[in-house]
Chain A
Amino acid sequence: MDSQHLNPSTLKSRFTARFLRALIKINAQKPISSSSPREIFQRYRRIKVAADKSMAYSVRSRRTWSRATLWKLQSRSRRRLASSGRRSSIKTRTTTTTTTTTTSTNHRAAIVEKTSHEKENKEDHVGLAVQAEELRELVPGGESMDLCNLLDETAHYIKCLTTQVQVMKKIANLYSLE
């Protein structure tokens, strides 16, 4: 396969193009005094959001996890626009965490009830339900998925994360050499 050939429809290409565009935008936003720690921290946050957003958009909301990421990012920016102070956004962030915890507690109860029905192979099943709780917190949107969907989404999420890391690493290396 010709390695020079750019296939514009692969996940990797879509992510790379979006992420680079976002970096250019962030680069253009920086003020004259751009090396204060605070500036760098802001830039780091913007870059991280851009990376996650670029990947989620590149997946084109075909996946629950990418839709959850986009929803989270969009509602966060909507709140930022509505409120003026940093204090308000911290308050709303706390509220979101509480909501998520309530959902996962209810879901945990539902899972335990479900798995207690099937009494054979139980060691594996109950072990899975417990481990899955941890996974739910790591995969975006995981708290509302059933076990099968969770495992399915996890596989895709990992594939996208590795692509994201690969591309970001290459860009960072490219610009560390200059």
Chain B
Amino acid sequence: MSSQRSTSSNKITDDKLNALILRLQTLLPQLDQSRHGRVSAAKVLNEICSYIRRLQNEVDGLSGRLSQCLDSMDLTGFDAEIVRDLLQQ
């Protein structure tokens, strides 16, 4: 079961790949490990792609929203108060 036979210079071990895939799985709220346990790597990547696309579309939509209300934005009144409020969890 040796990947040492491989002539490629990148020694990508299964363990390393599994660790990376597992980390990606924890980022996906819908594949929460406590409910799904181990999920196949292909499925994780599939979900990751959908998730990224969804996030990118959200950025798109929010940019649209901001372009609409930029008119009424009183950005001159920006100060530390507002920024603090923004960053509160």
Residues of A within 8 A of B (CB): 3-4, 6, 12-13, 16-17, 20, 23-24, 26-27, 30, 34-35, 40-41, 43-45, 47-48, 51-52, 114, 117-118, 120-121, 124, 127-128, 130-132, 134-135, 138-139, 146-148, 151-152, 154-155, 157-159, 161-162, 164-165, 167-172, 174-176, 178
**Contacts A/B (CB < 8 Å), 21 sampled:** A16-B83, A26-B70, A27-B70, A27-B75, A43-B67, A43-B70, A48-B59, A48-B60, A48-B63, A51-B59, A121-B14, A131-B42, A131-B45, A131-B46, A151-B17, A155-B23, A168-B59, A172-B62, A172-B66, A174-B86, A175-B73
Given contacts A131-B49, A148-B10, contact A13 B66 (CB under 8 A): no
| 9 nearest CB pairs, A to B | A131-B45, A44-B67, A151-B20, A127-B42, A48-B63, A43-B67, A168-B62, A161-B55, A47-B63
Tally chain B residues at the interface, Cβ within 8 Å: 56
* Chain A: minimal CB distance from B6 (Å): 4
User: B residues engaging A (CB < 8 A)?
Assistant: 1, 3, 5-8, 10, 12, 14, 16-17, 20-21, 23-24, 27, 40-42, 45-46, 48-49, 51-53, 55-56, 58-60, 62-76, 78, 80, 82-89
Whether B17 lies near A170 (C-beta < 8 A) is: no
Contact B6 A139 (CB under 8 A): no
Which residues of B sit under 8 angstroms from A51, Cβ to Cβ? 59, 62-63
Closest to A148 in B: B12
In the assembled complex, which residues on chain A have CB atoms less than 8 Å from the CB atom of B41? 124, 127-128, 131
**8 Å CB contact of B70 from A30, A124, A170:** A30
